[in-house]
């Protein structure tokens, strides 16, 4: 006896393209988070720059700026970690 899925559920199954896109997005997000952590460790040195005072909200602004820079770096290829992760977890070649 074979079990048939409801047609709506069959169409909801992820395709290879959707899985590949999810993997690429997850790898990019992971690399961006790692880069943000690395950049955040360098931030105390940059707080010595002029204009980086302790005004209200400056800490949140610095965190948002760090995340934006890390995201842009990851989008541009970052340190190559996302490519490596995609290669290891998927079937794409580097």
20 falls within a domain: no
Q: Are 69 and 39 in contact (CB under 8 A)?
A: yes
Is residue 2 domain-resident?
no
Give the three-state DSSP class for 79. coil
How many domains are there within the chain? Answer: 1
pLDDT score of 3? 54
40: which residues sit within 8 A by CB, 6+ positions away? 63, 66
Which pLDDT belongs to residue 9? 43
pLDDT of residue 68: 92
Any domain includes 9: no
Is residue 43 included in any domain, yes or no? no
Alpha-carbon span 74 to 81, nearest angstrom: 9
Task: Tell me, yes or no, whether 51 lies in a domain.
Answer: no
The per-residue pLDDT string of the chain (94 residues; one tens digit each, 9 = 90 and over) reads 555 555 554 454 557 788 889 999 999 999 999 999 999 888 776 655 555 556 767 778 888 888 999 999 999 999 999 999 888 887 655 5
Q: Is residue 3 part of a domain?
A: no
What's residue 7's pLDDT? 55
Q: Which domain holds residue 81?
A: 59-94
Assess if residue 29 is contained within a domain. Answer: no
In a domain, 86, yes or no: yes
């Amino acid at each position: 006896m074979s079990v048939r899925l409801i047609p709506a559920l069959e169409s909801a199954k992820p395709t290879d393209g959707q899985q590949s896109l999810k993997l690429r997005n997850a790898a990019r997000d992971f690399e961006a988070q790692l880069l943000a952590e690395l950049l955040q460790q360098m931030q105390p040195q940059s707080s010595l720059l002029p204009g980086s005072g302790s005004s209200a909200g400056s800490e949140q602004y610095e965190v948002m700026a760090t995340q934006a820079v890390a995201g842009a770096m990851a989008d541009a290829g970052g340190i190559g970690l996302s490519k490596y992760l995609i290669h290891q977890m998927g079937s794409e070649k580097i």
